[in-house]
Amino acid sequence: MNKGVSIVGFKKSGKTTLMLELAREFKKRGSKLSAAKFSHHGFDRQNTDTDLLAGQAVDLAGLSEEQTIFFWQNRKYLPDLLPLMKGDLLLVEGGKKLGWLPRILVLKHPREAEELDYGLAMATWGDIKTAYLPHINRIEELADLIQEKGFILPGLDCGSCGHETCRDLGKRILAGQAGQEDCLAVNSECEIRVNGQIVGMNPFVERIFKKTLQAMLSELKGYSPGRVEIKINL
């Protein structure tokens, strides 16, 4: 991206109308438009100008005094977004088919556990209990459990750990038969961190990355085999 412009004016001057007209025009021309919108009152996409603008752009950033949001027009997967997140603990609402996170079940009926367990349930919370899972009704106890047994796997299903899927490894971690360190996609000879978050690589990508980097470094004066650290600020 090497071209851009800002549309400025006071409130109700027609900035958004012009933004939408320009966005539609550039879209007709085949340009892939990224858009950014500043606001003093936050964002609510539904049936708003922000929603209309997001429909014309490939991605949209919203910036206000107290929040920043980002919309993509294509689907993103949660592991792709983790490097953008700054927390040291991830809480996810939903995600029934996620096979790389343990889960807490909140049930309306005991039979729902069979569908929601996915082999990754640590406990249940709420009024409904099951016969086979621990039930927790104190928030402090639940937080302790999450901090003690929570984990994040990369979701690559690469098989490098000897299991077919991350879910299979996750089930063994919960059973105490394996540990998060058994995931070779993030515990390998080649480690990449983006904003402090380890980016998982399947063995094929790791080999390509390592051999390519090694070949490039071998052309530099001062290079010798051993531990190499590279820091890049993008």
Residue 132 token pair: 């086979």
- When pLDDT is averaged across residues 104-131 and rounded to a whole number, the result is 94
pLDDT of residue 134: 95
State residue 105 phi and psi, 5-degree precision. Answer: -95, 130
pLDDT above 60: residue 96: yes
Q: How confident is the model at residue 197 (pLDDT cuts 50, 70, 90)?
A: low
pLDDT digits (tens, 9 = 90+) for 37-90: 888 776 665 556 777 777 888 888 888 888 888 888 888 888 888 877 778 889
Burial (0-12, 13-18, 19+ Cβ within 10 Å), 146: middle
Pick the residue with more confidence: 166 or 48?
166
- DSSP at 59: E
Distance CA 167, CA 59 (A): 31
Query: In 97-127, which positions are buried (b, 16+ CB within 10 angstroms) versus exposed (e)?
Result: ebbbbbbbbebeeeeebeeeebebbbbbbee
Three-class secondary structure of residue 122 per DSSP: strand
Query: Is 137:123 a contact under the CB 8 Å cutoff?
Result: no
pLDDT of residue 170: 94
pLDDT of residue 195: 65
Of all residues in the chain, what percent carry a pLDDT higher than 70? 86
Pick the residue with more confidence: 76 or 185?
76
pLDDT of residue 171: 94
pTM strictly above 0.85: no
pLDDT of residue 165: 94
Query: Is 170:153 a contact under the CB 8 Å cutoff?
Result: yes
pLDDT of residue 204: 63
pLDDT of residue 86: 79
pLDDT of residue 65: 84
Of 14-18, 79-83, 175-179, the range with the highest mean pLDDT is 175-179
pLDDT of residue 35: 87
- When pLDDT is averaged across residues 196-213 and rounded to a whole number, the result is 68
- When pLDDT is averaged across residues 183-198 and rounded to a whole number, the result is 70
